[in-house]
Amino acid sequence: MGKAKFIIVLLGPPGVGKGTQGQRWANEKGWRYAATGDLLREAVRQGTPVSLKAKAFMDKGELVADEVVTAIVEEVLQKADRPLLLDGYPRTIAQAEALTEIAKRLGWKIQAAVLLHANDDELVERLSARRVCPSCGTIYNLRYQPPKDNEHCDRCGSPLIQRDDDKHDVIRQRLAVYQAQTQPVIDYYQGLGLLVTVDALGEPDEVYVRLRKVRLSV
């Protein structure tokens, strides 16, 4: 399975645990993990011209232009040499159709679209208390998964940060954008017979047990 070219799409609203669960799943399976949000934030840190435009949308909780994000994903697919877990893409129907086309052209199979599901109140709670490590990407939560001293990464010692888009108003806007623009993507994968829904409520370990049970038939 090492060099198999298949993609697992990880879908779900902001704060549902895509990064938390996706990184763990990909590590265990030996897949490449790629999150468009992380890739965009990295581009912003590097100050590329396109990313500066993107940052304005991200800070407002709006989606970045389809062609910008799709170009990033196409590059990931060109370089990946093992199965890929894709977190945060596609988020619009145009992106979903683009992924289908690119995957076909580059010889990848979309194996499954796994949807993590939780209610909005839970999502707002999780996002308000999230802290992330800017160096190694480890995700914490001051309420549910706190780092040992509340301020530094347990793994690499870097000072933790709060994402710019984890402010209350922006969180609400991101949830609204998800309903309007990403919900149809769920129907798209349902129509292709690829959708698997996983309940994301409960402890992270409980959610992970459910996720691991997803049958991928690869």
Least separation in angstroms between CB 217 and ligand AP5: 25
Task: Between 1 and 199, name the residue whose CB sits nearer to ligand AP5.
Answer: 199
Known catalytic residue at 79:
no
Known catalytic residue at 174:
yes
Residues that bind ligand AP5 (CB under 6 A): 12, 14-20, 35-37, 40, 57-58, 61-64, 69, 88-89, 91, 95, 126-127, 130, 139-141, 144-145, 165, 174, 202-204, 207
Known catalytic residue at 130:
yes
What are the two backbone dihedrals, phi and then psi, of residue 26, each rounded to the nearest 5 degrees? -65, -40
Inter-residue contact 22 to 123 (CB < 8 Å): no
- Catalytic residue (choose from 24, 41, 130, 131): 130
- Catalytic residue (choose from 5, 163, 172, 210): 163
Task: Between 77 and 174, name the residue whose CB sits nearer to ligand AP5.
Answer: 174
The amino acid that residue 134 corresponds to is: P
Known catalytic residue at 163:
yes
Least separation in angstroms between CB 118 and ligand AP5: 8
Q: State the CB neighbour count (10 A cutoff) for residue 78.
A: 9
Task: Between 127 and 217, name the residue whose CB sits nearer to ligand AP5.
Answer: 127
Tell which residue, 8, 9, 11, 6, has the closest CA to residue 184. Answer: 11
Residues labelled catalytic: 18, 91, 130, 163, 174
